[in-house]
């Protein structure tokens, strides 16, 4: 029985570790697409190496002890109530490991969350509602128009409740696909109109709850052109899993073209999603045209609203 | 019977009329069926009542999880009697799975079940300090269970076991009437019951220990039940408040958790001024200690069993006790680590993160001491020992993903993904369940007077141990790849959003592993009920263990020690003492047997 | 096992209990600890709401404060009579124990009645939960200040009724508890009559019927299951509860009343 335990525990340990080390790309953190992402990844790697060593050491010892110290009929067990010195050394070592890891990562968090965006960042407002994301750009005046709860109505196309009487609202752009310029810092405002949602783009290493009643300011800088998927990562109701949207990181020229004529630009440059990453060769699904994307998701949210 | 029960505190209090007081403990064995088995005041019967309630709940939860796994990979399957599972039903399934498992299994079985049965016996008492309160506590828990079933059969709540407002506060956002209300009512009842239980456990531990049973001679199981009870006492009151306020928000038009200006499905809400984050603070102030409420008794059982079956004293007994206390204390200071992404002030994340990493230290001490206990031991591989070793393995595997999630930086990509699901299932879900299994195999002979089948037990262990890893290890990879929790379907909008589709093969593997593991639990049920009737008759001390429950007949008589209070002369883990003929020294052996 | 060493109680002195006290007292202290966390969470919720709401209303006037001060006086006096009851019981003076307990209950009941009158007055003037509207078919409020507070700051009424209601519930439970300790089985019919009277109570106090009925059921279970005489310990333990309820009011009174008062000319 001791041998069986040794074999099974070791097998589980080595198979899991093998997959953690030789991970195929589809079961690992997706490739980074923001400037601060690599720091998160390196912190992840440090933690992962440290925890990996402890994991293998503990499991190997467990299996080994089970086999080596099995009852073999002779020689009594070693009578000992422990060893204070060993205990103290182990405690100090683990404290250094855990607290050290913690302190190592704190500056990344501070940089991402304590500092505001630098002046002149590109502004985008991200609004979550059941079960759809809306993205608003303030336009050339740099100001978002006023929104009023009583005007919020997806069926009229004004889901955000933008007040048409506000001059600042005149040049606001609302899109259901997020288009971002590459290598420009973004000043993101997160809002939720009904329940808590969460804006999550794995490639950006970015995730933040959008909370009703709060305006949450965040900043990050995408640095790789491509199409990515936005997922809602906070349970928001029956259509939670449907609450996804596309984000396109594009060149500055493309971005300006998009701002000039959003609808037309999106028709010409539809969001292709993960297809462009070559992960889904076997899939036969073709993305519909962006106009249809908009309509389809409106239709979905209508269906949810019945 | 008179007043011969152990009330060691009486002598020095020096007050009038003490005989009246502990007449309460000296209740004679009831004769009628109802007083004996239904409204029993006997802690052993109440312990078994809790245990079987947890058993009913664990199978409910297990079936729900199987349905979830079916929906995730074969959504088109029609389940007999249920039909095709819809997406909103998936959310209902996960909500109730979480609720049944966390509250009615992980809180109920290890603490209220085994704790009720064995805490008084292990400290040499005839019963709990407040038998009537104990009975009320069980029946309140039972009422909570029935109300939760009511939620199951009316409209399943879909807001998850954490029930975050505003989703859970606004009926037209999806938390329809009755389902969510009954859920909250059930949780409120459960809180009240747990408070009664907790204060009973603490008082019993402090007040009813027999002569010689100093705190430092208590088995580690008693220590963990004691600390768990303190956690429960402090945590459940807060959830009770939160639950009542959320009920008011839903039904009385208050808005503690709902801010103004919300429009849900085109309908303007009449709430004003509340904050959804308030609920998260109240909930996790309870919720984090709750995970230790689930796992600490399992730690106690693992310690007890590793020592017993390694035939070695526990390695670092006092270190173990201090580690449990440290975990309990730190457990109240870390709730914010569930809220790194919630919009809470990012500065607080520093403190919460540091405290959370600090919990790793006492946890590591425990693991070290478990390995130290096995080291140079003489290990006997009975089924309970297999599960105890499995517990250690799972505790290590699940624990080591904690330091990832404890760092706010790494929580950014991992929060609310399957990485979290893998983490808490391994450490608080299955590890605690392994603790329950280990305790069942270990104490079954004492509780029912018969042995469980070893061969069925081993079969059950291997299937469950390997199956658990097959289910939950791959979930780490999925989480790292960014697979969010609580998604009923991987691909939506005609295949447009198909980032997660690449994970489907892994999902299928997990589902198949889950079906096999779930089916293997039948082996346990068969073993349990077959052994109750047909098992080999158990001797008084089948495992050659040292604690007090192994000094009395199996099953124990109504008042445990038949009026003869034991006197304790030894610590709980005196195995393989040099110079002693037998390889164990019972706690009640004469002091001359061994002086240390 | 046969090697269990068995001694008969009384043969040897037992080692003292950890706290040198008796189980019921420890149990009550533990209950109060957890209950203080329950109240702590409520007060935290109240403060959280209040701090996150700019322009929190302060509609209470001097007469509200006068009334609340009289209520506070009742509660403080009841704590004094409770102390006297505990003292009497430790002297073994059963008659005076009972008298002082009854006096404590009377002051407690006075508190509840004054508070109830206050609630009904405020509800009539317009301070309410939205639920009250549907439940009691209320007329529009008569005091524009309260009506405005209810309309613009539903949190104000929400927290006011939740906190004071929870406290009132605790005082009521305390009265039921003291009644059971003082009068034992004699208390059951009296409590029954009180419950029935509550059926005709105005406003939300109609629901007091169910509270008292529930209390009656619990009392009946406990008194009939354990039909024993209560000792000075039980009096002391019930006193702990009573003083705690009194103490909680000392937090609620300033937070909910005094800090929401406008001293206008």
pLDDT in tens, A242-280: 898 999 999 999 999 999 999 899 999 888 776 434 444
Please answer yes or no on whether B496 and A293 come within 8 Å at the CB atom: yes
Please answer yes or no on whether B255 and C154 come within 8 Å at the CB atom: yes
The mean pLDDT of chain C is 84
Neighbouring-strand partners of residue A218: A188
Res B195: pLDDT? 94
Residues of the domain holding A157: 122-305
**Which band of pLDDT confidence, cut at 50, 70 and 90, is reported for residue A292?**
very low
Res B594: pLDDT? 59
Q: How far apart are CA B590 and CA A289, in angstroms?
A: 86
Q: Where are the domains of chain C?
A: 35-47+57-260
Contacts with C, B 188-227, CB within 8 Å:
195, 198-200, 202-204, 206-208, 211-212, 214-215
The reply to whether B582 touches chain C by the CB within 8 Å rule is: no
Cβ burial A251-267 (10 Å sphere, 16+ → b, else e): eeebbebbbeebeebbe
The reply to whether B364 touches chain C by the CB within 8 Å rule is: no
Task: Count contacts between B and C (CB, < 8 Å).
Answer: 210
CA distance, residue B201 to nearest chain A CA (Å): 28
Res C50: pLDDT? 86
The reply to whether C47 touches chain B by the CB within 8 Å rule is: no
Q: What percent of chain C has pLDDT over 70?
A: 89
Mutate to test the interface with C, among B3, B227, B241 (most CBs of C within 10 A): B241
Please answer yes or no on whether C34 and B234 come within 8 Å at the CB atom: yes
pLDDT of C51 above 70: yes
DSSP code of B379? Answer: B
Q: Where are the domains of chain B?
A: 45-258+278-489+512-593
Task: Give the residue on C whose Cα is nearest the Cα of B562.
Answer: C6
Over residues B16-33, the pLDDT tens digits come to 333 333 434 445 677 777
Contacts of B403 in chain A (CB under 8 A): 47, 50-51, 98, 101
Over residues B305-362, the pLDDT tens digits come to 999 999 999 999 999 999 999 999 999 999 999 999 998 888 999 899 999 999 999 9
Contact partners for chain C, using 3 or more CB pairs closer than 8 A, are B
User: What are the start-end ranges of the H helices in B400-453?
Assistant: 402-405, 408-414, 418-424, 431-448
pLDDT of C55 above 70: yes
Question: If you average pLDDT over residues C68-85, what whole number do you get?
Answer: 94
Q: How far apart are CA B141 and CA B108, in angstroms?
A: 9
pLDDT of A113 above 90: no
Question: Tokens 């307990």 appear where?
Answer: C101
> Is A145 in the same domain as A50?
no
> Is A137 in the same domain as A173?
yes
Res B28: pLDDT? 63
pLDDT of B434 above 90: yes
Q: Are C163 and B249 in contact (CB under 8 A)?
A: no
Res B16: pLDDT? 32
> Is A283 in the same domain as A146?
yes
The reply to whether B132 touches chain C by the CB within 8 Å rule is: yes
> Is A159 in the same domain as A284?
yes
Most confident of C7-11, C38-42, C220-224: C38-42
Contacts with B, A 175-204, CB within 8 Å:
193-196, 198, 200, 202
The residues, ordered by sequence, that sit 6+ positions from C157 with a Cβ below 8 Å of its Cβ are B254, C127, C128, C129, C149, C150
Indicate the range of A94-103, C23-32, C218-227 predicted with least confidence.
C218-227
Over residues A136-176, the pLDDT tens digits come to 999 888 888 888 888 888 777 788 888 888 888 888 899 98
Q: How far apart are CA B586 and CA B552, in angstroms?
A: 12
Question: Which one of B16, B253, B552 has the shortest CB-CB distance to C129?
Answer: B253
Over residues B456-485, the pLDDT tens digits come to 999 999 999 999 999 999 999 999 999 999
Res B14: pLDDT? 33
> Is A230 in the same domain as A109?
no
Q: Indicate which CATH number applies to the domain containing A142.
A: 2.60.40.420
> Is A99 in the same domain as A237?
no
The mean pLDDT of chain B is 89
- The token pair at A258 is 């998009």
Please answer yes or no on whether B203 and C23 come within 8 Å at the CB atom: yes
Q: What percent of chain A has pLDDT over 90?
A: 54
Residue A76 domain-assigned (yes or no):
no
pLDDT of A297 above 70: no
Question: Which one of A2, A205, A212 has the shortest CB-CB distance to B276?
Answer: A212
Task: Give the residue on B whose Cα is nearest the Cα of A243.
Answer: B492
Question: Which one of A19, A65, A305 has the shortest CB-CB distance to B374?
Answer: A65
Q: Judging by DSSP bridges, how do beta strands A173-175 and A226-232 pair with one another?
A: unpaired
pLDDT of C191 above 60: yes
The string of DSSP codes covering C9-22 is TTSSPPPPPTTSS-
Residue A136 domain-assigned (yes or no):
yes
Residue A12 domain-assigned (yes or no):
yes
Q: Which fold has domain B45-258+278-489+512-593?
A: Cytochrome C Oxidase; Chain A (1.20.210)
pLDDT of C5 above 60: no
pLDDT of B64 above 90: yes
Indicate the range of A291-295, B42-46, B447-451, C63-67 predicted with least confidence.
A291-295
Res B356: pLDDT? 93
pLDDT of A201 above 70: yes
- The token pair at C108 is 């407690």
Contacts of B128 in chain C (CB under 8 A): none
Q: How many CB atoms lie within 10 A of CB C33?
A: 17
**Which band of pLDDT confidence, cut at 50, 70 and 90, is reported for residue B494?**
low
Tell me what ipTM this predicted complex has. 0.89
Contacts of C26 in chain B (CB under 8 A): 129, 202-203, 206-207
**Which band of pLDDT confidence, cut at 50, 70 and 90, is reported for residue B526?**
very high
pLDDT of C229 above 80: no
> Is A178 in the same domain as A106?
no
Res B508: pLDDT? 94
Contacts of B88 in chain A (CB under 8 A): 238
Res A277: pLDDT? 43
Contacts of B11 in chain C (CB under 8 A): 13-14, 16
Please answer yes or no on whether C130 and B12 come within 8 Å at the CB atom: no
| Residue B483 or residue B39, greater confidence | B483
**Which band of pLDDT confidence, cut at 50, 70 and 90, is reported for residue B418?**
very high
> Is A216 in the same domain as A260?
yes
The reply to whether C130 touches chain B by the CB within 8 Å rule is: yes
- Between the alpha carbon of residue C235 and those of residues B243, B542, C30, C230, C231, the distances in Å are 33, 47, 17, 8, 7
Contacts with B, C 141-160, CB within 8 Å:
152-155, 157-159
pLDDT of A122 above 80: yes
Question: If you average pLDDT over residues C65-77, what whole number do you get?
Answer: 92
Res A280: pLDDT? 40
The reply to whether B576 touches chain C by the CB within 8 Å rule is: no
Contacts with B, A 213-252, CB within 8 Å:
213-214, 216, 229, 231-242, 244, 246
Over residues C149-190, the pLDDT tens digits come to 887 887 888 888 889 999 999 999 999 999 999 888 889 999
User: What are the start-end ranges of the H helices in B82-219?
Assistant: 87-99, 116-122, 131-153, 179-207
> Is A104 in the same domain as A127?
no
pLDDT of B183 above 90: yes
Q: Judging by DSSP bridges, how do beta strands A244-250 and A178-181 pair with one another?
A: parallel
Contacts of A84 in chain B (CB under 8 A): 316
Question: Tokens 């079960």 appear where?
Answer: A131
Res C15: pLDDT? 46
Contacts of B313 in chain A (CB under 8 A): 79-82
Question: If you average pLDDT over residues B234-259, what whole number do you get?
Answer: 90
> Is A91 in the same domain as A162?
no
Question: If you average pLDDT over residues A121-128, what whole number do you get?
Answer: 94
Res B493: pLDDT? 60
Q: Are B275 and B269 in contact (CB under 8 A)?
A: no
Question: How many domains, chain A?
Answer: 2
> Is A16 in the same domain as A95?
yes
Tell me: domain C35-47+57-260, CATH 1.10.10.10, correct? no
Contact partners for chain B, using 3 or more CB pairs closer than 8 A, are A, C
Q: What percent of chain B has pLDDT over 70?
A: 94
Res C155: pLDDT? 80
């Amino acid at each position: 029985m001791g041998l069986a335990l040794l074999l099974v525990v070791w097998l589980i340990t080595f198979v899991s570790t093998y997959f953690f080390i030789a991970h195929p790309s589809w079961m690992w953190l997706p490739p980074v697409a923001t400037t601060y992402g690599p720091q998160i990844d390196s912190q992840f790697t440090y933690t992962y190496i440290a925890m990996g060593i402890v994991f293998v050491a503990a499991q190997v010892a467990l299996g080994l002890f089970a086999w080596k110290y099995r009852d073999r009929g002779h020689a009594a067990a070693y009578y000992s109530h422990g060893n204070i010195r060993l205990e103290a050394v182990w405690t100090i070592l683990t404290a250094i490991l855990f607290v050290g890891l913690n302190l190592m990562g704190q500056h990344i968090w501070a940089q991402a969350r304590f500092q505001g965006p630098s002046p002149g960042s590109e502004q985008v407002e991200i609004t979550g509602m059941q079960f759809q994301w809306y993205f608003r750009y303030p336009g050339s005046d740099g100001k978002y128009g006023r929104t009023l709860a009583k005007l919020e109505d997806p069926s009229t196309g004004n889901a955000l409740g933008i007040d048409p009487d506000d001059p600042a609202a005149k040049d606001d752009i609302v899109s259901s696909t997020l288009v971002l310029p590459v290598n420009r810092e973004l000043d993101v405002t997160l809002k939720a109109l009904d329940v808590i949602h969460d804006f999550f783009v794995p490639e950006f290493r970015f995730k933040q709850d959008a909370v009703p009643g709060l305006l949450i300011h965040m900043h990050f800088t995408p640095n790789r052109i491509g199409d990515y998927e936005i997922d809602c990562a906070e349970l928001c109701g029956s259509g939670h899993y449907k609450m996804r949207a596309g984000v396109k990181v594009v060149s500055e020229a493309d971005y300006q073209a998009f701002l000039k004529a959003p609808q037309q630009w999106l028709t010409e440059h539809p969001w292709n999603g993960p297809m462009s990453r070559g992960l889904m060769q076997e899939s036969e699904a073709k993305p519909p045209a962006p106009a249809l994307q908009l309509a389809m998701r409106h239709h979905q949210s209508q269906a949810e609203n019945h | 019977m008179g007043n011969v029960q152990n009330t060691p505190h009486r002598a020095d209090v020096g007050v009038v009329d003490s005989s009246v007081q502990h007449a309460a403990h000296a209740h004679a064995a009831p004769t009628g069926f109802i007083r004996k088995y239904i409204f029993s005041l006997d802690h052993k019967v109440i312990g078994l009542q809790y245990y079987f309630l947890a058993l009913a709940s664990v199978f409910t939860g297990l079936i729900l999880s199987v349905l979830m796994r079916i929906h995730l990979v074969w959504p088109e399957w029609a389940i007999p009697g249920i039909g095709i599972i819809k997406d909103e039903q998936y959310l209902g399934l996960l909500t109730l799975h979480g609720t049944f498992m966390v509250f009615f299994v992980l809180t109920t079985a290890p603490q209220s079940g085994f704790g009720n049965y064995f805490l008084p016996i292990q400290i040499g008492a005839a019963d709990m300090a407040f038998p009537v309160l104990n009975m009320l506590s069980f029946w309140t828990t039972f009422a909570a269970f029935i109300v939760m079933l009511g939620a199951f059969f009316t409209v399943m709540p879909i807001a998850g076991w954490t029930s975050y407002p505003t989703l859970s506060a606004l009926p037209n956002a999806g938390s329809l009437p009755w389902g969510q209300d009954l859920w909250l009512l059930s949780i409120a009842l459960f809180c009240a019951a747990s408070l009664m239980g907790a204060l009973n456990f603490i008082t019993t531990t402090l007040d009813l220990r027999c002569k010689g049973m100093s705190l430092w001679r208590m088995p580690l199981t008693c220590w963990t039940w004691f600390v768990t009870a303190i956690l429960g006492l402090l945590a459940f009151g807060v959830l009770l408040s939160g639950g009542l306020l959320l009920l008011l928000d839903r039904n009385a038009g208050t808005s503690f958790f709902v801010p103004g200006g919300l429009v849900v499905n085109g309908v303007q809400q009449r709430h004003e001024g509340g904050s959804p984050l308030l609920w998260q603070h109240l909930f996790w102030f309870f919720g984090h200690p709750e995970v230790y409420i689930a796992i600490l008794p399992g730690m106690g059982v693992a310690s007890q069993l590793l020592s017993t079956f390694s035939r070695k004293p526990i390695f670092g007994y006092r270190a173990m006790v201090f580690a449990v206390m440290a975990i309990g204390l730190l457990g109240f200071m870390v709730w914010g680590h569930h809220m790194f992404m919630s919009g809470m002030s990012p500065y607080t994340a520093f403190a919460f993160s540091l405290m959370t990493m600090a919990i790793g230290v006492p946890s590591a001490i425990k693991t070290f001491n478990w390995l130290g206990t096995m080291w140079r031991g003489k290990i006997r591989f009975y089924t309970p020992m297999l599960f105890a070793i499995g517990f250690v393995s799972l505790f290590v595997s699940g624990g080591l993903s904690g330091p990832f999630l404890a760092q706010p930086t790494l929580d950014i990509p991992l929060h609310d993904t399957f990485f979290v699901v893998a983490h808490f299932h391994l450490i608080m879900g299955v590890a605690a369940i392994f603790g329950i299994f280990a305790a069942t195999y270990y104490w079954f002979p004492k509780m029912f007077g018969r042995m469980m089948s070893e061969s069925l037990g081993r079969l059950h262990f291997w299937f469950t141990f390997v199956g658990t890893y097959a289910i939950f290890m791959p979930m780490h990879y999925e989480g790292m790849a960014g697979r969010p929790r609580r998604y009923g379907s991987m691909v939506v909008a005609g295949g447009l959003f198909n980032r997660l589709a690449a994970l489907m093969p892994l999902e299928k593997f997990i589902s198949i592993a889950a079906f096999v593991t779930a089916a293997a639990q039948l082996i346990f049920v068969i073993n349990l009920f077959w052994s109750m009737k047909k098992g080999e008759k158990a001797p008084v001390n089948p495992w050659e263990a040292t604690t007090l429950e192994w000094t009395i007949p199996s099953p124990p008589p109504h008042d445990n020690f038949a009026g003869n209070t034991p006197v304790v002369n030894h610590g709980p883990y005196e195995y393989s003492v040099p110079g002693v003929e037998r390889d164990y020294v019972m706690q009640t052996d004469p002091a001359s047997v061994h002086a240390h | 096992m046969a090697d269990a060493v068995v001694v008969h109680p009384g043969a040897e002195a037992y080692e003292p209990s950890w706290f040198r006290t008796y189980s019921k007292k420890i149990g009550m202290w533990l209950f109060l600890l957890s209950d203080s966390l329950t109240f702590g969470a409520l007060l935290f919720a109240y403060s959280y709401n209040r701090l996150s709401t700019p322009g929190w209303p302060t509609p209470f006037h001097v007469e509200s404060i006068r009334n609340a001060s009289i209520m506070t006086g009742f509660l403080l006096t009841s704590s004094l009579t409770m102390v006297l009851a505990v003292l009497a019981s430790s002297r073994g003076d059963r008659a005076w124990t009972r008298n002082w307990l009854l006096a404590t209950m009377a002051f407690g009941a006075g508190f509840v009645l004054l508070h109830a009158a206050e609630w009904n007055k405020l509800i009539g003037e317009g301070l309410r939960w939205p639920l009250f509207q549907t439940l009691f078919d209320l007329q529009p409020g008569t005091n524009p200040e309260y009506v405005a507070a209810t309309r613009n700051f539903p949190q104000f009424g929400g927290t006011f009724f939740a906190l004071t209601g929870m406290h009132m519930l605790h005082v009521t439970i305390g009265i039921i508890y003291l009644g059971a300790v003082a009068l034992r089985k004699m208390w059951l019919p009296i409590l029954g009559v009180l419950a029935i009277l509550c059926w005709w109570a105005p406003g939300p106090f109609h629901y007091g019927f169910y509270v008292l009925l529930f209390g009656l059921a619990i009392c009946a279970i406990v008194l009939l299951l354990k039909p024993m005489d209560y000792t000075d310990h039980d009096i002391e333990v019930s006193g702990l509860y009573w003083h705690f309820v009194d103490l909680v009011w000392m937090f609620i009174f300033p937070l909910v009343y005094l800090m929401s008062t406008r001293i206008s000319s």
